[in-house]
Amino acid sequence: MGTYQLENLQYSDDRKGPWRMYLYREDGYHRGGIWFRSTAKERKRIEESLEGKPTKHSRNPGAYEEIQSQYQDVLTDVQARILFDGEFEGGKEIRICDGGDMLVCHVVNRKFLYGEKFWDEL
Question: Tell me: the pLDDT tens digits for 29-68?
Answer: 998 899 998 877 666 766 676 666 544 444 444 544 554 5
Task: Give the DSSP H/E element, type plus range, for residue 40.
Answer: helix 39-49
pTM above 0.95, yes or no: no
15: amino acid identity, one letter: R
Between 107 and 8, residue with greater pLDDT: 107
pLDDT digits (tens, 9 = 90+) for 74-103: 888 888 999 999 999 999 999 999 988 899
Contact by Cβ (8 Å): 102, 12: yes
Domain limits of the chain?
19-114
83 Cβ contact list (under 8 Å, min separation 6): 21, 23, 34, 75
